[in-house]
Chains A and B, each alone.
Chain A
Amino acid sequence: MSGPAPALALRGVTVRYGDVVALEEVDLTVGAGEACGLVGVNGSGKSTLFRAAVGLVRPVAGTVEVLGGSVERARRAGLVAYVPQADDLDRDFPVDVADVVLMGRYHLMGRRRRPRPADRAAVAAALERVGLADLADRQVGRLSGGQRQRVLLARALAQEARLLLLDEPFTGVDAASEAAVTAVLRDLVADGCTLVVSTHDLTMLPALCARAALLHRRVLAEGPTAEVLTPDNLARTFGLDPPEAP
């Protein structure tokens, strides 16, 4: 890794929940401006890795560095965006699309979080980019799953984050939303943002991520996507576990 500090660097990271080891001595470096796919079955530690990167869990061993500094520093500066799956959030929650996107900017706003013109402009621009400008006033539950996913992506855009952690952004997403999300993510990488995209869906991966890491509590393989996604590696990633219920 030459040039600027990596956007995300985990060194020997071990995370435990009680007796359960979720991550074991994980080494992973994602360079600034790269898009890295994080591939693994459910329960392989993808979410835990994200949680460690934003300081929601503390590793029992190892270090996590974000954008050349501590996790805490990056968190306080709002440099990292976590984009959850749309279904993780309450779809009946009484807020509209623009409200949710504005939440991406609360750390940039005053104590009362009163939006200034610049905040409203950023929200409008983010919604424009994900193609939802005409749905800004819609309650969030009255959107398709793919549209809700785009709202959460727009929130990360409004946040002006430099590192985006995306949790299964294509799960349960219609084709139109998938194309919109992919286009925006490619633009972000072109602008120098760093992406880490967790997925168990391999069809989208090569088109979006130049690099990939296979995770199964440990990093099983890491490198250029084409080299990592070998049948042998995939068998190790997906085959070691008993088959999951869908």
Chain B
Amino acid sequence: MTPVVLAARAVPAAWWDLLVEPWGYGFMQRALLVTVVASVVAALLSCWLVLIGWSLMGDAVSHAVLPGVVLAYLLGVPFAAGAFLFGVGAVALIGWVRATSRVKEDAAIGVVFTTVFAVGVVLVSVTPSQVDLSHILFGNVLGVSDADVWQVVVLGAVAAAVLVLRRRDLTLYAFDRVHAQVIGLPVRRIGVLLLGLLAVSVVVALQAVGVILAVAMLITPGATAYLLTDRIWRMLWVAPAIAAGCAVVGVWASYALDVASAGLVVVCQGLAFGAAYVTARVRHRRAARAGRPGKALAARR
């Protein structure tokens, strides 16, 4: 039951046309497919990122891919390759700076990603005009080619499949890394896997919403689902469902209102988070009034 269908029952025929009309265009179909795939993959990953406390890492990776994207355009290679390389490189650099100096993690992340991002800004300024900075920064989902769509769908499907198949290891990694290590699981490899999937998800997400807003898709759905449920397996359904809903509403509304789709998709996610927040608060109050401290604790979460 998408919000589009909900709205359709209550509106006159002219509005019905507006609801259906956009999906007749090829560019709108491509935009919708790319945005939904990117949203779902990023939403799955976001569940673990918010539980581990790696939201800032998502921010870092999504910004650090900028020079990779610019270089890929210049060299004529798939932009995903450049983005992945710089995403992984930034993560490695952050880990190296933190491990070999007294600088703490948040500072290491901040220094590395802003510097790499700045390198990208400089690169854009010295390249010929075929690189449109605003398309990279804010996404250009209405202008994606069939090749871009394929890239997103294949990468997204692989990332989603790995996340779902390895979900139990990822959850243990997020919950109790020491225990994972003690029972002989390859903890370091699980961490590397997660960061690699983060880089892939960023590559997919930036096609839909651009470098700046990709991070929202990597945090907000997971945070929203975490407010609504206290079971990870339910989060893994709720987060992608909300994200997909926001993708549909955002892309459609961007057509109807003639505004930026990337912005609207992320605004929708923010509104969903707000609604979840209010729901959680109300549940908490009710439970507290009913004198069930256990429930109240759950609702606070």
Contacts and interface: CB of A to CB of B under 8 A. Distances in A.
B139 to A, nearest CB: 31
A95 B226 CA distance: 11
Contact of A94 (B179, B181, B231, B294): B231
Contact of B181 (A56, A84, A95, A103): A56
A6 B240 CA distance: 51
A238 interface: no
Given A106-B185, A112-B166, A95 B179 contact: no
A107 B184 contact: yes
Interface string A56-88: 100000000000000000011110111010000
Given A89-B175, A89-B176, A78 B184 contact: yes
A21 to B, nearest CB: 20
B182 A94 contact: no
Contacts of B171: 95, 99
A90 interface: yes
Contacts of B174: 93
Q: How large is the interface on A (under 10, 10 to 19, 20 to 34, 35 or more residues)?
A: 20 to 34
A141 B295 CA distance: 11
B177 to A, nearest CB: 10
A155 B182 contact: no
Contacts of A159: 183
B133 interface: no
A78 to B, nearest CB: 5
B239 to A, nearest CB: 11
A32 to B, nearest CB: 19
Contacts of A94: 51, 226, 229-232, 234-235, 301
A75 B179 CA distance: 10
Contact of B168 (A81, A93, A106): A106
Contacts of B179: 82, 84, 103-104, 155
Interface string A146-159: 00000000010001
B282 interface: no
A96 interface: yes
B168 A113 contact: yes
A142 B301 CA distance: 11
| Contact residues on B (Cβ < 8 Å of other chain), bracket | 20 to 34
A81 B182 contact: yes
A93 to B, nearest CB: 5
DSSP class of B's interface residues: helix, strand, loop or mixed? helix
A92 interface: yes
A159 B176 CA distance: 15
A106 B175 CA distance: 14
B176 A113 contact: no
Given A80-B182, A93-B51, A112-B165, A106 B230 contact: no
A171 interface: no
Given A95-B175, A113-B169, A139 B230 contact: yes
A69 to B, nearest CB: 13
A55 B184 CA distance: 10
Contacts of A81: 182-183
A54 B229 CA distance: 34
Nearest to B235: A94
Contacts of B92: none
Nearest to A103: B172
Interface in B36-52: 51
Interface in B120-178: 165-166, 168-169, 171-172, 174-176, 178
B215 to A, nearest CB: 22
Contacts of A54: 178, 181-182
A104 B248 CA distance: 41
Considering the complex of A and B, which 4 residue pairs feature the smallest CB-CB distances, nearest first? A113-B168, A76-B184, A107-B183, A78-B183
17 contacts: A56-B178, A56-B182, A76-B184, A78-B182, A80-B182, A89-B175, A93-B51, A94-B231, A95-B175, A96-B231, A100-B175, A103-B179, A112-B166, A112-B168, A141-B298, A142-B297, A155-B179
Given A56-B182, A75-B184, A100-B175, 9 more contacts: A54-B182, A56-B178, A78-B184, A81-B183, A82-B178, A94-B230, A95-B231, A112-B165, A139-B298
